């Protein structure tokens, strides 16, 4: 970073490695291939606890004991049931767009009005927490309903007695999921709840810093998240596997992509300079299925790394979370159109936790831009006009 003549600090593009605030929620240590939620390894949490426990940790600050977990899970289940006004609105919203994330954006915006959300600036802590919990709880219900409405099917009401992950799969597919499928999706959800100051999280925090209501923060986050360079990659990675088709085509396909300079979806990460720990965990989960898709994914990953070592020695490019996420979600019964929405079900926890944390800081986030356009006129005395070109 450097200071220019105006006194502003010039930072790297994309704010890379620039620390903009303090957080107690977690961190991503990209050079080490490690990330954590508060004081716990995020991957170990995904391997050992359920969605509700990790959600409680991020929102409330600690892992719940048995009584806290029972109370939190019951409350989350109750809140998954859509308010009637929102349920009535969804068919009309789904008629305007086939994109489930666009439906979620609109629905959460409407929910903010239905729920009477006040600006965070005016809310006490309990009110903020109640809004955050309700928003996370209804997100999978909205997305599952949108998926079914887009296919001419009736939405399936939430079942408050089920866990968050199992009920989400049931509401999407119409069937109570097998324990293995529900647990695989749950582990994915826990591992992707939060991930440092990614674009959508930062967007949510910028909006929260203005004192806006929680729904506004989430609508902005989802808008950022919908971009293919952020949350939109899992289905694109699976499309690449479908295009390759078989292991004997993998090496040629990879080399053609590298030679043309085309992006290989599902590989590389803005932060990790080694293997993405989420990808490694999801690969292990995927291997729990005896399915040709798993063999193809592992073979393509090997082909990418081998070709890069030969054609671009020294370049680190490993599978990221999206690569195996698509494989796991497909094998668990989700269609590709639901991959990014499922990512959103998880990330709603991190967004709301970050919004709550940011709302406690009275300072608005207001960076500066460096002007590089045509030279402006010199300042003139007050009351004097600068003539414009004829």
Q: What is the pLDDT of residues 254-303, one digit of tens each?
A: 888 888 877 777 776 667 667 788 889 999 999 999 999 999 999 888 88
- Non-local CB neighbours of 331 within 8 Å, separated by 6+ positions: 181, 184, 286, 289, 291, 293, 294
Backbone torsions φ then ψ of 256, nearest 5 degrees: -65, -40
In tens digits, the chain (390 residues) has pLDDT values of 555 556 678 888 888 778 889 999 999 887 787 899 999 999 999 999 999 999 999 999 999 999 999 999 999 999 999 999 999 999 999 999 999 999 999 999 999 999 999 999 999 999 999 999 999 999 999 999 999 999 999 999 999 999 999 999 999 999 999 999 999 999 999 999 999 899 999 999 999 999 999 999 999 999 999 887 777 656 777 888 888 888 888 888 888 888 887 777 777 666 766 778 888 999 999 999 999 999 999 988 888 888 777 777 767 777 777 888 989 999 999 998 998 899 999 999 999 999 999 999 999 999 988 888 999 888 777 767 767 776
Eight-state DSSP code of residue 247: G
Q: Is residue 94 part of a domain?
A: yes
Q: How far is it, in rounded angstroms, from Cα 66 to Cα 74?
A: 12
Q: How far is it, in rounded angstroms, from Cα 282 to Cα 82?
A: 31
**Measured in whole angstroms, how far is the alpha carbon of residue 359 from the centre of its chain?**
20
The label of the residue with tokens 């709550």 reads: 356
Number of other residues whose CB lies within 10 A of the CB of residue 69: 16
Both structure tokens of 268: 């590389």
Report, as residue numbers or ranges, the catalytic residues: 269, 322
CATH number at residue 133: 1.10.580.10
- Cβ-count burial 259-278 (b if 16+ within 10 Å, e if not): eeeeebbbbbbebbeeebbb
Q: How far is it, in rounded angstroms, from Cα 234 to Cα 68?
A: 34
- Non-local CB neighbours of 128 within 8 Å, separated by 6+ positions: 120, 214, 356, 359
Q: How far is it, in rounded angstroms, from Cα 147 to Cα 99?
A: 9
Q: Is residue 215 part of a domain?
A: yes
Eight-state DSSP code of residue 158: P
- pLDDT value of residue 307: 79
Q: Is residue 106 part of a domain?
A: yes
Contacts 24+ apart (CB under 8 A), 176-179: 177/332, 177/333
Q: Is residue 27 part of a domain?
A: no
Burial of 333 (0-12, 13-18, 19+ CB in 10 A): middle
Residues paired with residue 319 on neighbouring β-strands, in sequence order: 267
Q: Is residue 146 part of a domain?
A: yes
Q: How many domains does the chain have?
A: 1
Both structure tokens of 238: 């699976």
Q: Is residue 66 part of a domain?
A: yes
Residue 342 belongs to what domain range? 52-178+198-229+335-359
Q: Is residue 386 part of a domain?
A: no
The helix/strand/coil state of 29 is strand
- pLDDT value of residue 201: 96
Dihedral sign of CA atoms 163, 167, 170, 172 in order? negative
Residues paired with residue 247 on neighbouring β-strands, in sequence order: none
Helices (H), the chain: 42-48, 51-60, 66-79, 84-94, 100-114, 125-150, 164-173, 179-191, 199-209, 214-225, 234-244, 250-260, 277-286, 292-311, 321-331, 339-359
Q: Is residue 315 part of a domain?
A: no
Q: What is the signed CA dihedral for 114, 115, 119, 124, rounded to 10 degrees?
A: 170
């Amino acid at each position: 970073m450097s200071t220019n003549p105006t006194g502003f600090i010039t930072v790297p593009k994309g704010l890379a490695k620039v620390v903009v605030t303090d957080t107690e929620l977690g961190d991503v240590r990209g050079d080490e291939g490690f990330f954590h939620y508060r004081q716990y390894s995020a991957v170990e949490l995904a391997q050992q606890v359920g969605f509700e426990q990790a959600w409680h940790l991020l929102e409330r600050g600690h892992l719940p004991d048995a009584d806290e977990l029972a109370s939190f899970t019951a409350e989350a289940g109750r809140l998954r049931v859509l308010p009637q006004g929102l349920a009535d609105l969804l068919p009309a919203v789904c008629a305007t767009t086939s994109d489930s994330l666009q439906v979620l954006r609109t629905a959460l915006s409407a929910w903010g009005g239905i729920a009477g959300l006040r600006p965070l600036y005016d809310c006490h802590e309990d009110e903020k927490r109640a809004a955050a919990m309700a928003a996370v709880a209804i997100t999978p219900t909205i997305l599952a309903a949108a998926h079914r409405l887009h296919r001419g099917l009736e939405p399936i009401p939430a079942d408050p007695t089920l866990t968050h992950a199992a009920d989400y799969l049931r509401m999407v597919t119409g069937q109570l999921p097998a324990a293995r499928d529900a647990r695989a999706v749950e582990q994915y959800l826990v591992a992707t709840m939060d991930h440092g100051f990614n674009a959508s999280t930062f967007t949510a925090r910028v909006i929260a810093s203005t004192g806006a209501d929680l729904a506004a923060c989430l609508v902005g986050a989802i808008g950022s998240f919908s971009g293919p360079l952020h949350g939109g990659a899992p289905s694109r990675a699976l499309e690449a596997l479908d295009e390759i088709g078989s292991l004997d085509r993998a090496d040629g396909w990879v080399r053609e992509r590298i030679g043309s300079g085309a992006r290989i979806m599902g590989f590389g990460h803005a932060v990790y300079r080694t293997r993405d720990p989420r990808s490694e965990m999801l690969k292990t989960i995927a291997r729990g299925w005896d399915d040709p898709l798993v063999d193809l994914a592992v073979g393509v990953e090997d082909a990418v790394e081998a070709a890069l070592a030969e054609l671009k020695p020294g370049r680190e490019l490993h599978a990221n979370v999206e690569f195996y996420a698509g494989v796991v979600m497909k094998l668990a019964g989700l269609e590709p159109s639901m991959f990014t929405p499922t990512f959103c079900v998880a990330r709603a926890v991190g967004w709301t936790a970050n919004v709550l944390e940011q709302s406690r800081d009275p300072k608005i986030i207001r960076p500066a831009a460096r002007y590089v356009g045509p030279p402006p006129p010199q300042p003139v005395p007050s009351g004097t006009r600068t003539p414009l070109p004829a």
